[in-house]
Each structure stands twice: as C-alpha cells, then as structure tokens.
Amino acid sequence: MPTIDPESLSPAARVAALAEALPYVQRLAGQTLVVKYGGAAQVSPELSAAVTEDLVLLTAIGARVVLCHGGGPAVSEMGRRLGLESRFVDGLRVTDEETMRVAQQVQVGLISRDIVAALGRRGGRAVGLSGHDAGGWLRARPRQHRSQQTGEAVDLGRVGDIADVRPGILRGVLDAGMIPVVAPVAVDDDLRSLNVNADSVATAVAVALGAPRLIFLTDVDGIRGPDGDSRARLSAAELASWIDQGIVTGGMIPKARACLQAVDGGVRRVTVADGRVPHALLLELFTDRGVGTLVESA
Ligand code: ADP
Ligand code: MG
C-alpha cells in the first residue's frame, strides 16, 4: 500500500501538514459528498484500501459520504462462468430475468458486502443498500428502445432508467454517522429488480440529497478531448459537444451524461477523478488542483 515513508517527514512537517488541513476539514464537516467508485480503483486491492481509508477519514471529520458502486465487469465474468449467453440489440445488452438475478447476486451479495466489510475493518460503519430497501427507495422504469432497423419497440429486459429517489433512508443512515453503500439495482412499481447504470445512480442520489459535490472515481486521468489529453476544467456545453462528436465513447458516455445531469440538477462541483492515483479522493478534496476533470455549468 503506497503510504508516506515515516522517515521522509519530520514530526514538525507532519504536524504542519495536519494543521494546514484545518480549512479543508472545516469546509467538509457536515457537507454531503457522493462518490461513484468504479473502474481501476475497484480491481486493485491497494487502491481499494486507499479509497476505503479516505472514506472513513472523511466520515471521521464529519463529512456525510454516500458511496455508489458499479459492478459491470464482475457481473459479466460471473455470467460467463455460469454459461449465460449475452444477447445484444443495436449494441445494447439484453438483460433477461436470469441475468438480472446474477447481476443482483454479484452487486448486492458480493461487491456491496465486500465494500461494507472493508469500511468496517477500517473502523467505518457502512450500510449496504439496493433499491428494494425502505419500501423501494430507488425507483426506475424499464428502458424503452426502438430497433434501429425496424423502428419497432424492443424489450431490453430488466434494464431501467432512474425515475425517482426517495432519499429518507440515505438521510437516516447519514444522520447516524454511517456510510450508505449503494448498489446499482433499482426497482420498478412492483418492486421487481431493474439493473441501472451506477453513474446515473450517483447523479440521482447527489441531486436528491442536494449534495454540493459529486466525484466519479474511474480509471483514466479525467475526460479526454480531441487531442487525447485530459482537461482540468471543462464546460458542460463543451462536454455535450464531445458526446455528439464521438470524442467521448464507451463507458465515458453514461458518465459524461451523468455529469451533465448533475450540473443541471444543481450539484456545484462535479469531477471525474483518477482512481488509479492513491488517495485520489483526499487529493481531490484537500488540494485546489485535484486529480481529474471538473465539469462546470458555464
Ligand atoms: P467506470 O468503471 O469508472 O465506470 P468505464 O470503463 O465505464 O469506467 O468508463 C471509463 C472509460 O471510458 C475509460 O477507461 C476510457 O477507456 C473510456 N473513454 C472513452 N472516451 C473517453 C474520453 N473522452 N475521456 C476519457 N475516457 C474515455
Ligand atoms: Mg462505467
């Protein structure tokens, strides 16, 4: 685990660094932060440990932290092991009932539990939640898709788009000094599971809580532009044009859309940060420079 060499800092320097953190600590106390945890930070144990420590530290200084996690690659891997066939329509995966059961088992049964336990080992108190809890706090509606060939409606199965967040349960958990850990499983009107994109869950949660900050931890150094370099700051308008021009592709498309929705929804600081950097969260929150792209409304 990449920590500071104890020999490299004198006691005076350590204490000075801590003292300099005071204004940041004061600013963060009582502030709601929503963190989306995905990509590289989730696969390496060292980085997971650093993210875990950061979350517990932030909670200890009084920040109200919500963690939203993804799990796509682990779901695909389990599907392969179980011999489930993937079917695609216009490049979109069809989530049949069985695939949804597996997605739920992996995301709620494995990933969420592992994160809750890791936070617990560091002295954090976390509560794992999916959309079913508290009478169905995270609601979605089945995604509508029209075939690009025939124009007819195609059933994509148990895939949904967020329709409603009832944030009472999140507030309750936060008020108790605990960390809600949110899996990307929502429910429909009958409280049946729908798989949802974790980036859009994070945005919906941030907007519903009126959180001033939303941080997407991912496996790139920020949102990259036409020249291939990541930008420290980017306006929402420019990001929207990058989506249209195909400069943003793959997994960055839902993330970029989630950023735009968050900015639209009044989240003041929305960043895509490099989760491969140890303690990316603390760097993002305790320094002015940060480690990624800040998406701005103007
Ligand atoms: P996460 O697990 O964090 O949601 P994703 O794989 O879904 O990560 O999305 C991040 C990926 O998006 C990056 O690894 C990168 O390959 C891809 N990507 C596509 N376009 C861009 C872009 N313009 N800037 C940065 N990353 C991009
Ligand atoms: Mg993704």
Question: From the alpha carbon of 223, which atom of ligand 1 is closest?
Answer: 24
224 lines ligand 1 (CB under 6 A): yes
In this structure, which residue's CA is closest to atom 19 in ligand 1? 249
Q: How confident is the model at residue 86 (pLDDT cuts 50, 70, 90)?
A: confident
Q: Does residue 275 line the site of ligand 1, with CB under 6 A?
A: no
| CA 225 from centre of chain | 22
* Residue identifier of the C-alpha nearest atom 2 of ligand 1: 39
Work out the number of other CB atoms within 10 angstroms of the CB of residue 61.
14
Instruction: Give the per-residue pLDDT at 290.
Output: 78
- What average pLDDT does this structure show over 212-235? 96
pLDDT score at 7:
66
Residues with CB under 5 A from ligand 2 (ion): 251
Ligand nearest to the CA of 41: 1
Predicted TM-score of the model (pTM): 0.94
Provide the token pair at 36. 């989306």
**Separation of alpha carbons 206 and 259, rounded Å:** 11
144 lines ligand 1 (CB under 6 A): no
Instruction: Note the pLDDT of residue 6.
Output: 58
Res 39: pLDDT: 67
Q: Is 123 exposed, middle or buried (CB count within 10 Å of its CB: 0-12, 13-18, 19+)? A: exposed
Dihedral Cα 236, 239, 244, 246, nearest 10 deg: -170
Question: Which ligand has the minimum distance to the alpha carbon of residue 73?
Answer: 1
Average pLDDT of 6-13?
81
Residue 119 has pLDDT above 50, yes or no: yes
The pLDDT of residue 268 is above 90: yes
* Residue 30 neighbours by CB under 8 Å, 6+ apart: 62, 63, 64
